[in-house]
Structure 1
Amino acid sequence: MTGWEFTSPLALLNEWRDREDGADLHEFLLLGSAVDLPFLERVAVPAARAMGARITVVGDAARGRYDPVDVRMAGRAYFHGLAACAGAFHPKVALLVGERDIVAAVGSGDPTMDGWGHDDELWTVLRGTREAVPAALAQLGEWLQMLPAGVAVPEYVDALLQEIAAPLEGARPAATRGCCTTWTRDCSGRCRAGPWTSCACTRRPSTRAGTRSPRSWRTSIRRGS
């Protein structure tokens, strides 16, 4: 993508918005350690809802960066869930799922103003479709579905993760091996390529105990309704 500068997951939202085919965005998932909900309500939630997305935000129960009085849209415009575990809940993931295309960013930036704007964070962007995904995206889907086995989350978050991840695991692995594109805020397009299976995001949990099959989840808070 010559001339495309990736600075944060907001770049993926803007890219989807500017698609020539005008395809709807079905799912927008954000995982982070520290989460700034008022910030997301200003810069990400309206954009994702305008494209028809159901939005899910999950963060560490002990590290929210906001005053609850400033949160206006949680539970109405998007789902918000808290995760708890023995250590810190520390993934930084943005996942966009459409009718056909699937895009993920896995990196070091929390969904906060600093993590998405002021700090020089590292991101790996993965791309696939519902018909064929690179191995890293398929493994990301497996990891999302297994996450509630090792991290305490509300039941509705568990159900959402199963449904959001299902297209990633349901797609067959791509026949050809691709490369990861790694971006920082100051590299402006210079990337480091390597086999998909070398990505940090492909690390799997050590056990499949407690793995649950995808479940259907229906709610009124989806696709901009």
Structure 2
Amino acid sequence: MDSELFPRGRTEVAPDAVHLPDWFDAERQEKLLEACRAWARPPAGLRTVRTPGGGTMTARQVCLGWHWYPYGYARTVVDGEDAPVKPFPAWLGELGRSAVADALGEEAATAAAYDIALINFYAGDARMGMHRDSDEKSDAPVVSLSLGDTCVFRFGNTESRTRPYTDVELRSGDLFVFGGASRLAYHGVPRVRAGTAPPGLGLTGRLNITLRVSGL
């Protein structure tokens, strides 16, 4: 929104979990969207993730650096065509470290050698259940970048999928970083607000680019 009664500002949602609204401008959003479209093409492109119980995730996903599958990492799409995973670009790692520095400080960013990106595409009816990012062997902060439609991002506690949790509105261009005491907090996306993407971006739906350090 161009004007608001209460302008959005930096918010510490939980210890070491920070929301920075409008962190990257329209030009950088367009460039990141262009990159996401290239990454989504086959081979090792956008796919439907199947859960061990036989279900499917409603958000579709493409991986860079390491291929995530429930619940581990591989160098190929082991739950698909077994193609080699696309490389993780150095500039994306720099973007991740810059994000952590702005959210949590330079010290937190120093040792964050990002080598994984999970790019999730949410159509208007897609959701993400409460889960923890616990398959990595590193406790470096997780970086989350939003493009397109606004979503409700539910950030919980480290003990269970239930309350207490906080619902945060993530819009296109927003940054969310969580590490330290909140690194293993449960989180999810209960709702996407279809049709709320910036008109000039040219994206129907929501893209979430999540950066992690594998420790592998």
- Greater share of helix: 1
**TM-score (ref. length: structure 2):** 0.26
- Greater share of strand: 2
